[in-house]
Amino acid sequence: MGSLGRRIVHTIDGWTDRIIPPKYNPLYWLGTLCFVSLMLILITGSYLFLFYKTGAPYESVQYLTVNQWYIGGYLRSIHRYASDGLILFMTLHLVREFLLGRYRQWRWLSWVSGAALLVACLILGIMGYWLVWDGRAQLIAQKTAQLLNDIPIFVEPPSRSFLSGDTISKMLFFVLLLGHIGISLIGISALVFIHTSRNARPVLKPPRAISVALVIVLSALSFIVPATNAPMADLAKLPINIPFDWFFLFVYPLTSALSKRAFWFTSASGALLLFTAPWIGRFRKPPAAQVILEKCVGCEQCNKDCPYEAIRMVPRKDGRPYLLQAEVLVNRCASCGICVGSCDSKAADLPDRTLEQTEKEITRLLNLPQKQGSGPKILGLVCEKNIRLDKFINAENKSLKGMPNVFVITFVCSGMIHHSTIEYALASGAEGVFVSGCQIEECYYREGSRWSHARLMGERAPVVLPLKGTTSDYSRIRSYRLSPLRAKDLINKIGLFQKELEQKTSVRAYRPIETMIPGEGTYKKVAALCIIPLLLLPAFLISFLSTKPTYPFYSKDNALIKFTFQHSGKQEDCKEITEKETESKLKHMRKTNSPYSRMRMDCARKRLPSYVELDLDRRNILSRVYHPTGLSGDGSTFAYEEIPIAPGTHEVTVRMRDTKDVSNFDYNFEKKINLEAGQVAVIDFDSDNNKFHIMGQSEEEKGE
């Protein structure tokens, strides 16, 4: 899967690289696009907060959408579409990192915190929709409450809080707003910090052109398809034909498509796999880099170059005349070898790939016998994560097929290539050296390709030194940054390099001549404009999946009966205490001497369950036993059921008993109800009068 996944990603990257330069390709900046989306959500959300009223949630949002369409409605739309874009970019980022295999070992913390970020943002989005309190929010509230009904920590089914407008707590929207803001400012900020904590110089902002393009696309989408409210929430009616946002609300259709057990099993399994993915499967952890203290001069360059802050500088311990020495944090080390290439004194090394081993390999390859007239000897120093040259290399002598004079040595990362390796190759008989690494925006180890290129260009220490006091040797070096699927392009460029060396047409240069991939050099600014049409595809997806489709949770041709009650059943095994039994007990344990027999009863704490039968038009549609809550079974008994029925007039009969006498029912209710399509009737139990009633009726209607 690893090799196949990388090939899929690199193929898609190759297609987009033909349209747009890699520097501006959004696929390389998915993580930073998430950050830009978060900033847009924060800015627009701050404005919306100024006008939101917890006492009138729907009216306040409707005021912003309709009366303030020029600014409030626009910012509300940006807030909405940036949130959808955030989930889209986060999902693509997660899938991309998984397919590339960049989630194991030292990356486990970034993966787990990123997964937690995705879950937190989904919860935030659901809470945001809830705050509007329109038909969509009503659907979310009811379906969320049904999910929570299955969690045993809730004594009373949360669905009972949404039977009618009167049952909704006045504090609900205040708590939701407080949670929405609190999770946004504290939870998301903390997770973003953790997500980037092990990365040196974390990149949070994409190139300006990408940020501007994203704002332009979201602005255009907000003006063309502004976000609007569904009709105001009405718990007496079913939420039918409500616009559905699949980015945030995809979990609710699963509750309808799967049984309760299947849904919770699927959800729990998916979450477990998501958060434990870095430890699933067998993989070998390469040995960490090591520091040769006898050579370390405490220059701090390795500490500056390490992309994962796996090297720290500590006070010198061996008495040598330097203030600091480098120390490797083994748990953080990615074994990328970038510190090897950054150490001018050759004090850093990888145990399984030392500089001495590399020099011996160079000597062996350059001293191999060659055919007469095969051309100048060229040595390639290639990142093994960059170009897959397996099909093009002769296994016996590591030369390119068709180019017996070109030899290739692979490295863990191009950032590992030390300047002395290049100098040694040129001094040992190589007439040309080329370095091939990942595209700078897509280096497997984040910064290895960038530092390697900067060193070759003389922009970052340590730099390649000219041989014999001349500058012409720089023209014998080439630097390539290509996509992993462009092996043929690399071979073509090597062929051109070979011809230049044969004809001695290379110009004298103080820096290595860099060969860029097609389309990256001349028309960068023009090519950057292609970002906008490239982002139109996700914009269309966001517009369609968040506004157009609906999901048939309820049939528009049906009505609904909500049957619910809270009832304290009779206690088990009650008996009257005699005067003699009372006197035999300690005073604090005696029953009262009240003349009422009930006050002299000795009962077990456990209560009896309640058995209910519900008939519709003389046909039984519900027969169920409801057990009391509490660890000892001494709490109230709760029930909540949704029963779809056909519209029209129906005769409803409810029978319930809470005693051991199975021959009789203790509570009976019979009533004719008339429901239209989409209407909701709530049958509840009046604990004050000990009888069932239809919620919302007047006292006269209840007594009929």
Tens digit of each residue's pLDDT (9 = 90 or more) over 609-665: 999 999 999 999 999 999 998 888 888 999 999 999 999 999 999 999 988 888 899
Average of per-residue pLDDT across 41-70: 95
pLDDT, residue 518, reads 41
The pLDDT tens digits for 331-359 are 999 999 999 999 999 999 999 999 999 99
Rounded distance between C-alpha atoms, residue 550 and residue 442, angstroms: 39
Name the pLDDT band for 153 (thresholds 50, 70, 90).
confident
> What does the alpha-carbon distance between residue 478 and residue 364 come to, in Å, rounded to a whole number?
22
**Residue 622: φ, ψ to 5°:** -150, 125
Q: Is the predicted pLDDT of residue 278 greater than 90, yes or no?
A: yes
- In this prediction, residues 359-365 reach a mean pLDDT of 94
- Kindly report the backbone phi and psi dihedral angles of residue 569, in degrees, each rounded to the nearest multiple of 5, phi listed first: -70, 170
For position 612, what pLDDT does the model report?
96
pLDDT at 586 over 80: no
Sign of the alpha-carbon torsion through 19, 23, 24, 27: positive
At residue 421, the 3 state secondary structure works out as helix
pLDDT tens sequence across 510-550: 556 555 444 444 445 555 567 888 888 889 999 898 887 78
* Percent of the chain with pLDDT strictly greater than 90: 60
Report the pLDDT value the prediction gives residue 597, as an integer from 0 to 100: 45
- State whether CATH 2.60.40 applies to domain 559-571+606-703: yes
Name residues whose C-beta falls within 8 Å of residue 410's C-beta, 6 or more positions apart in sequence: 382, 383, 384
Higher pLDDT, 294 or 586: 294
In terms of residues, how long is the chain?
704
pTM assigned to the model: 0.89
The reported pLDDT for the residue numbered 700 is 42
Phi-psi region of 48 (alpha: psi -120 to 50; beta: other; left: phi over 0): alpha
Neighbours of 145 (CB within 10 A): 17
Fold of 356-521: Rossmann fold (3.40.50)
Query: Which helix (H) or strand (E) segment is 91 a member of?
Result: helix 74-99
Q: Which residues in the chain are classed under CATH 3.30.70.3270?
A: 287-351
- Structure tokens belonging to residue 676: 């239209």
With beta carbons less than 8 A apart as the criterion, state whether 29 and 213 touch: no
CATH of domain 2-279: 1.20.810.10
Distance, in Å, from the CA atom of 9 to the CA atom of 439, rounded to the nearest integer, reads: 14
Numbered ranges of CATH 1.20.810.10 in the chain? 2-279
Question: For residue 129, what are the contacts with CB-CB under 8 A and spacing of at least 6?
Answer: 136, 137, 140, 245, 248, 249
Distance CA 528, CA 513 (A): 25
Q: Where in the chain is the domain with CATH 2.60.40?
A: 559-571+606-703
Task: Tell me if 471 sits within 8 A of 509, measured CB to CB.
Answer: yes
Q: What is the mean pLDDT of the segment spanning 549-555?
A: 85
Phi, psi of 417 (to 5 degrees): -70, 115
pLDDT of residue 534: 81
Which of helix, strand or coil describes residue 590? coil
Which CATH architecture describes the domain 287-351? Answer: 2-Layer Sandwich (3.30)
The answer to whether residue 442 scores a pLDDT higher than 80 is: yes
Here the tokens at position 48 are 């919306």
CA–CA separation, 671 and 325 (whole Å): 87
CA distance 111 to 195: 8
Among 264-273, 470-479, 483-492, 522-531, the range with the most confident prediction by mean pLDDT is 264-273
pLDDT in tens, 192-202: 999 999 999 99
CATH 3.40.50 domain range(s) in the chain: 356-521
pLDDT of residue 1: 53
